[in-house]
Amino acid sequence: MKRYAIIVSFVFSALCVFGQERHESHRCYEKYEVSRHHRPAYFVSGNEVFFQGQTVKGASALSFDILHDGYAKDYSNAYYCGVKINGASSNTFKVLGYGYAKDDWNTYYWGQKIEN
**pLDDT tens digits for range 13-37:** 544 444 443 333 332 223 334 445 4
Number of domains in the chain: 2
Same domain? For 12 and 50 the reply is: no
What's the domain range around 21?
1-35
Same domain? For 52 and 15 the reply is: no
Same domain? For 30 and 61 the reply is: no
**pLDDT tens digits for range 67-113:** 989 999 999 999 999 999 999 999 999 999 999 999 999 999 999 99
Same domain? For 49 and 106 the reply is: yes
What is the value of pTM for the model shown?
Answer: 0.65
CB atoms within 10 A of CB 12: 10
> What b-and-e string marks burial along 46-65, b requiring 16 or more CB atoms within 10 Å of the CB?
eeebbbeeeebeebbeeebe
Same domain? For 7 and 64 the reply is: no
Give the C-alpha separation, 21 to 7, whole Å: 21
Same domain? For 19 and 50 the reply is: no
Contacts of 94 (CB under 8 A, 6+ apart): 101, 102, 103
Beta strands in the chain (DSSP E): 43-45, 48-51, 54-55, 65-66, 71-73, 78-80, 83-84, 94-97, 100-102, 107-109, 112-113
Same domain? For 21 and 3 the reply is: yes
Same domain? For 63 and 89 the reply is: yes
Same domain? For 66 and 100 the reply is: yes
